[in-house]
Amino acid sequence: MKPRVLIVVESDPRTSGRPAEAIRVAAGIGTWKKVEILLYLRGPAILSLAEYSDDWIDEDNFGRYLPILRDLGQPVRVQQGAPEVFELGEALVPFEEISEARWAELAAQCHSVFRF
């Protein structure tokens, strides 16, 4: 079984470059296919999946690296019930809403957890 890495993003892509960097890192590590990458977005970070990201910091990273994550076959996990889910409109990649309890289970099953 491959090691699992969970990348948790809570920063707002409208005001921080951290979500774009997290997505770039997730795509880069995932393409090695030596580890299983799980990406979890909370709160305003969920907006990283929106179709339109023209005004966000490092907006090119979203269009360039989200398709790579999609091709890895894992949905992006997002915070269940977060208001930002309803603001998304059309998402660039498939996503799955998960509860706080499920998020804790995923974190416990991973070899490493990175927070952005």
Express each pLDDT in 49-104 by its tens digit: 998 877 889 999 998 999 999 999 889 999 999 999 999 888 989 999 999 999 99
Mind listing the pLDDT tens digit for each residue in 43-56?
Answer: 999 999 998 877 88
- Which of 2, 63, 66, 78 has the alpha carbon at shortest distance from 28? 66
Under DSSP, is residue 67 helix (H, G, I), strand (E, B) or coil?
helix
Name all domains of the chain by residue range, CATH numbers in brackets: 4-115 (3.40.1260.10)
Once rounded to an integer, what is the mean pLDDT over residues 32-45?
95
Q: What is the pLDDT of residue 86?
A: 92
Two tokens at 27? 């795509």
Q: 1 pLDDT band (50/70/90 cuts)?
A: confident
Q: What is the pLDDT of residue 51?
A: 84
Q: What is the pLDDT of residue 34?
A: 94
Is the model's pLDDT at 11 over the cut of 90? yes
| pTM listed for this prediction | 0.94
Q: What is the pLDDT of residue 5?
A: 96
Say if residue 23 is exposed, middle or buried (CB neighbours under 10 Å; 0-12, 13-18, 19+).
buried
Q: What is the pLDDT of residue 114?
A: 95
49-85 b/e (C-beta count within 10 Å ≥ 16 → b): bbeebeebbbeebbeebbebbbebebbbbbbeebebb
